[in-house]
Structure 1
Amino acid sequence: MALATTAFVFPGQGSQKVGMLAAAHDAYAAVRATFEEASAALGYDMWDLVQNGEQDALNLTATTQPVLLTSSVALWRAWLEQGGEGPAVMAGHSLGEFSALVCAGALDFADAVRLVRQRGEFMQSAVPVGEGAMAAIIGLDDDAIVSICAEVVAAGSGEVAAVNFNSPGQVVIAGHTAAVDAAVAALKEAGAKRAMPLPVSAPFHTVLMKPAGEQLAGAVADIAIAAPSVPVIHNVHCQSEQDPEQIRELLVRQIYSPVQWTGCVQAMVERGVDKVVECGPGKVLSGLNRRIDKSLSSFSLEEPDSLKAARDGVAANA
């Protein structure tokens, strides 16, 4: 049985940290088994890296992506192991969309772990280090950000665009380094409260990722995709899809298209969702979701205590 008013959401890059999920690993056999399965798929001890590695190593895109996918799937399996019921709908932020599709039964876990490692490699290699940048813009209207980025491009500074619509008043821009710098200056002048460079070395979700998309298309063509058992709202168009070929196409388009997170959350609310469980390390999405719709109740699963609280919270008035 699905909980009709509950959504599960899965975080993307930025939620990783050395030492995460330690208590969950001790508490749940499902978490231990999931990390063992990922380690076997990739040929290295992922749990040792997560607990004892350097943060810089964990932050490498080709490492971060399989680690976060594994963490999210591990917590989903722990949720089910502890008697938690399935949600009515799922969504994931960027990489998290792959986690959602695994948990919805559309992607095989081992296939997905290998696929997102490749995705990370493709994304990192699409633009030489130093030539691309991203920045978070706080406190300015979405349309104004889009318009100013277009003006910077028209002025010949290079490519820059709004790429993550994370919540009203919080948008990430990305593109060529010089163009991002020019846009940051213009956005501050236009009244942005903050414009902060992000510690990433590639302009994710821009047209500069088209080469990565072409490579990913080849990799995605080689894996099986099934119709998801739970609707998954996609970043590209804020709708769910049942056709595996449509899902395959959206996973490729997503790599060079903006992440419409605000729209994804609004689409879930329109389906009657009032409780959202963040299935992965950290609480980044919970913070965004509250800014998108203050009526949403948010829960997280990273710690055993929070998993129990989430199970009790979503069961209340279900």
Structure 2
Amino acid sequence: MYKLAFLFPGQGSQYIGMGKALWEEFNAAKLTFAEANDALGYDITKICFEGGVRELNRHEHMLPAILTVSVAAFRVYLEEIGIEPAFLAGHSLGEYSALTCAGALPFADAIRLVRKRSLLAASVRSGAMSVLNGVMKEQVSEACRLFSTEKEAIALACDNGRDQFVISGHAAGVQRVEDYFLEQSMQVTPLLTTPPFHSPLMAHAATELEAELNKLSFRPLQYAVIANVTGRPYEGAERIVPYLTRQLTDTVQWTKTIDFLQEQGVELVVEMGPQAVLTNLVTANTTIEAMSYGQREDRLQLRERLAAPAFDPHVPTVVTRCLAMAVATRNRNKDADAYRQGVIVTYDQLERLQGELEAARRFPSEVEMRQALEWLSQIMRTKGVPEEEEKRRIEKVLSDTGMTERLSDIFSKEETAC
């Protein structure tokens, strides 16, 4: 089984017609676009499929549109293939997509937040961004230092790879850096009509964004998400507000992010977005295999390689074994109220989950398996099962279903929680 990571792109991935193939083929994508329209109060679907380039490239449209396509791709993938990732990582805007798909906040809240972020950024005037290729990080850092002035700051906005960097800051200063590298025959690509993301010019917008972030409630992450500002996984949902606030003014540490994935033994990354921007960056800078779920050929190949086996109701799963183990466990608790709440109600939840799986004719996801094990643990604790016996019974469930290795961390998490 591959160790997977999903990548979510930022600006530069957009094009007219993006997401339309997913929308035409998959109901999950249709529902995602409809949800986006409702949350925004206007037809982002039409802008994606039929709008003009200028309209799509307005940041208050572009960034919510990319978020929508990314979330749609993720949802389609889970329905079509379902093998869950070890890590999620997003580039700039893509960090919002990653957090949304990790369950940190509802999609409707995320798309409204991203539009607000876009409007706050657009209010920053006299800024510019530019992509530099074929240069070294030390050269870029030195040029930013050399050509910055007290009133015209320039910053390293994105560290994208060995020889690709993005600078951001006051337009006049950015142009000086561009001219400097053009004189050395370096490749320079100005990002037209783009606010100066990831630079000190965004300090006031970051303060306003922090206020917007504090209005939301963030839930625990279902997957490990790598933060742009650290290049390492979030320590918990409590870090979302400070990290996303810093992201507007700090460097996107993409090289650190990809290096971390390689260190963790990730074998395959799948880009969840319209094009293959991050896929190409990974291929250029690492030995990790990279594919884009937004590209039909890659999508078909991924389905062939990763698709789960056909559903068979007779194959034991973690959920069915949890049900059986719950029934087979002797009760030592004479408290009727505790038994009703901790055993009967919890067992009903397990049965409902199994009914949903059978109706959908699919095997449980990793999240569902972990939930089933948590419910079984609650049932056994309520029945008064000793801790060592509870552990043996859960190990038996994992052994019977071939999930010992995949869910091997469940006991260490329980010990840490204690």
Place the TM-score, normalised by the shorter chain, in its bin.
over 0.9
C-alpha distance in 1 between matches for 2:239 and 2:41: 31
2:156 to 159, 162, 169: 162
TM normalised by structure 1 equals: 0.93
- Report the secondary structure of 2:299's partner residue: helix
Q: Partners of 2:185 and 2:133 in 1: how far apart? A: 6
Larger radius of gyration: 2
Q: 1:98 to 1:147 in 2, by over 3 A?
A: same
Structure ranking higher on relative contact order (CA contacts 8 Å, 6+ apart): 1
Q: For 2:203 and 2:151, how far apart are their aligned partners in 1?
A: 19
Alignment counterpart, residue 64 of structure 1, candidates 62, 67, 74: 62
Identity of aligned residues (%): 37
- Matched residue, 1:144: 139
Task: Tell me which of 128, 134, 151 is aligned to 1:133.
Answer: 128
CA displacement, residues 18-56 of structure 1 (integer Å, 9 cap, x when unaligned): 111222111100000000011111111221111111111
Residue type matched to 2:21 in 1? A
> Which amino acid counterpart does residue 111 of structure 1 have in structure 2?
D
Amino acid at match of 1:287: N
Alignment of 1:25-36 (within 5 A): 25-36=23-34
Aligned residues: 309
Secondary structure at the residue paired with 2:111?
helix
TM-aligned CA deviation for residue 157 of structure 1: 6.8
Query: Is the Cα contact below 8 Å between 2:258 and 2:282 reproduced in 1?
Result: yes
Between Structure 1 and Structure 2, which shows a larger proportion of strand residues? 1
**TM-score, normalised on structure 2?**
0.71
Give deviations 1:71-99, integer Å, cap 9, x for gaps.
10001000011133111101000000000
C-alpha distance in 2, partners of 1:240/1:52? 37
1:287 alignment counterpart: 280
Structure 1 equivalent of residue 20 of structure 2: 22
Match of 1:238 in 2: 231
Correspondence list, 1:92-241, <5 A: 92-125=90-123, 127-128=124-125, 131-154=126-149, 158-189=152-183, 191=184, 193-241=186-234
Write the deviation string for residues 98-121 of structure 1: whole angstroms up to 9, x where unpaired: 000111111211110100000000
Q: CA deviation at 1:314?
A: 4.8
- 1:312 positional shift: 3.1
Greater percentage in helix: 2
Q: How big is the shift at 1:305?
A: 4.2
- 5 Å matches for 1:257-268? 257-268=250-261
d(CA) in 1 for partners of 2:304, 2:235: 31
Q: Considering only aligned residues, what root-mean-square deviation do their CA atoms show, in Å?
A: 1.8
Q: CA deviation at 1:192?
A: 5.5
Q: Which of 298, 304, 307 is the matching residue for 1:306? A: 298
One-letter amino acid of the structure 1 residue matched with residue 251 of structure 2:
P
Moved over 6 A (4+): none
Structure 2: 5+ residue stretches without partners: 309-405, 407-418
Deviation at 1:313, TM superposition (A): 3.8
Q: Secondary structure of 1:105's partner?
A: coil
Note the C-alpha offset of 1:315: 6.4
